[in-house]
């Protein structure tokens, strides 16, 4: 069984050294090459002229380091919503977070229209307990407007010493007045895998993909198999709903846990020789038991890799609503003492050669939840395609948002209950169990 892919020199993220500038090979004569170089120098001189004019003439003496940092961040954020500069402290915080422990409120966020938008609150954190919801917009932090701050600056303000209070002002669709809430900061220890037995079915929830996820999955399956005899165990439900993603190697390891062979995912960068393919190794953690994957509009990135791989191989039936559609890979490139850059370096593709960028994974069985009256028309994510500056879908067809609501009480969870009924044979659907023969015909080596 493959445990973790070794990625040397850089960290690879999918949701959340020295940079080598690579250019596409071109046939340029001496005059063309010289003209291109001269144009670059003219642009750099322009930057230098503006920088010096600000330093000399701005009404107050500016902070040179902040000017440079803002320029770098502006350059990166102009590329796509997921590229950014990480100052040294943010880089250290990110490393702590991917290890599964960090300080703060427990909210996955992005920036939209100048405001901090909640992607999802993390399970069992101050944010989740206080009632922060997917698609909330944070407009003020401790009374200070978020408008005008970068995402990193806003996140920094939400972090702080444990047991200190922070006041958030939230704009929520459908609410007539802003929602005010006071939270206590806490050490956020991310238990990325939680499990329980649902009678004769094993239920495993993966909330994100950090360094502990595969080991957590393995422990969960072992615990379920101890509790339910093999001849009684009907199968497993793997819940990836509202999972924003995380580490690429963990997505590969989790997919590999259910596969004996075949490609899991491929990544393709700008150059043809940058294509990488990741394959499963022999050994199925569940000994071939039936698997149903739950996804929704909040399932992004690494979650979509797992769902796409098991769907293409017909190893699992995907149930729920269309996923978020983040099909890009971010590489964390360290810059020594100067932090790091998070740079979008590749698109990823499912085993059948599908790019889900700005499209998402369509479930084999679509099941919509019954929404509380106050959430009707308000429980959808707009998806990757709605983010300003997103990488476009390669075929020009982009998907909209989908429902991202999960009822707090499992008895009201239509998606989970339908999955349980399928595994027990109470419900019948042509998509379950999936056909392995069909998978063999569809899983192809992409060009």
Q: Tell me, what's the pLDDT at 21?
A: 31
221-228 CB contacts, 8 Å cutoff, 24+ apart? 221/195, 221/257, 221/285, 221/286, 223/195, 224/195, 224/197, 227/197, 228/197, 228/200, 228/202
Please confirm, yes or no, whether 312 is among the known catalytic residues: yes
Query: Can you list the residues of the chain whose pLDDT is less than 50?
Result: 1-9, 16-28, 445-447
Please confirm, yes or no, whether 167 is among the known catalytic residues: no
Q: Which residue among the candidates 117, 234, 289, 326 is catalytic per the annotation? A: 326
Determine whether 196 is exposed, middle or buried from the number of CB atoms within 10 Å of its CB (0-12, 13-18, 19+). Answer: middle
Q: What is the pLDDT of residues 304-345, one digit of tens each?
A: 999 999 999 999 999 999 999 999 999 999 999 999 999 999
Q: What are the chain's domains?
A: 101-189 (2.30.42.10), 193-442 (3.90.226.10)
Q: Tell me, what's the pLDDT at 93?
A: 78
Q: Which residue among the candidates 301, 303, 323, 393 is catalytic per the annotation? A: 301
Please confirm, yes or no, whether 301 is among the known catalytic residues: yes
Q: Tell me, what's the pLDDT at 225?
A: 97
Q: Tell me, what's the pLDDT at 20?
A: 32
Q: Which residue among the candidates 249, 312, 364, 413 is catalytic per the annotation? A: 312
Provide the sign of the torsion angle of the four alpha carbons 194, 217, 316, 432, taken in this order.
Answer: negative
Q: Tell me, what's the pLDDT at 16?
A: 43
DSSP 374: G
């Amino acid at each position: 069984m493959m445990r973790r892919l070794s990625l040397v020199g850089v960290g690879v993220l999918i949701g959340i050294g020295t940079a080598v500038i690579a250019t596409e090979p071109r046939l340029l004569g001496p005059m063309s090459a010289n003209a291109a170089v001269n144009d670059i120098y003219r642009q750099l001189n322009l930057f230098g002229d503006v920088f010096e004019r600000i330093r000399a003439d701005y009404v107050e003496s500016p902070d040179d380091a902040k000017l440079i940092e803002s320029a770098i961040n502006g350059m990166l954020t102009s590329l796509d919503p997921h590229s950014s500069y990480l100052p040294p402290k943010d880089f250290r915080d990110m490393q702590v977070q991917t290890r599964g422990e960090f300080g703060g409120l427990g909210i996955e966020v992005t920036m939209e229209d100048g405001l901090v938008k909640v992607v999802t609150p993390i399970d069992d954190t101050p944010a989740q307990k206080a009632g922060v919801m997917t698609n909330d917009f944070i407009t003020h932090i401790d009374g200070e407007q978020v408008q005008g701050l970068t995402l990193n600056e806003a996140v920094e303000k939400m972090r702080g010493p444990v047991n200190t209070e922070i006041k958030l002002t939230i704009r929520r669709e459908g609410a007539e007045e802003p929602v005010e809430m006071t939270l206590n900061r806490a050490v956020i220890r991310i238990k990325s895998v939680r499990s329980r037995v649902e009678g004769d079915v094993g239920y495993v929830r993966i909330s994100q993909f950090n360094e502990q996820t595969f080991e957590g999955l393995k422990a969960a399956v072992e615990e379920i198999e101890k509790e339910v005899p093999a001849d009684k165990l009907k199968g497993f439900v793997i819940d990836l709903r509202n999972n924003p993603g995380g580490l690429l190697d963990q997505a590969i390891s989790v997919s590999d846990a259910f596969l004996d062979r075949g490609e899991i995912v491929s990544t393709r960068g700008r150059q043809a020789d940058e294509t990488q393919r990741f394959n499963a190794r022999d050994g199925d953690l569940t000994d071939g038991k039936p698997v149903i994957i739950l996804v929704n509009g909040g399932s992004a990135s690494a979650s979509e890799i797992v769902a796409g791989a098991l769907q293409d191989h017909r190893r699992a039936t995907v149930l729920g609503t269309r996923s978020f559609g983040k099909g890009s890979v971010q590489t964390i490139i360290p810059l020594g003492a100067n932090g790091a850059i998070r740079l979008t370096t590749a698109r990823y593709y499912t085993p059948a050669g599908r790019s889900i960028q700005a499209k998402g994974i369509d479930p084999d069985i679509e099941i919509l939840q019954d929404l509380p009256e106050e959430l009707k028309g308000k429980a959808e994510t707009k998806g990757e395609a709605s983010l300003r500056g997103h990488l476009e879908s390669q075929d020009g067809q982009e998907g909209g948002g989908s429902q991202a609501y999960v009822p707090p009480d499992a008895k009201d969870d239509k998606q989970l209950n339908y999955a349980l009924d399928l595994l027990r044979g109470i419900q019948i659907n042509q998509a379950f169990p999936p056909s392995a023969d069909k998978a063999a015909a569809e899983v192809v080596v992409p060009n």
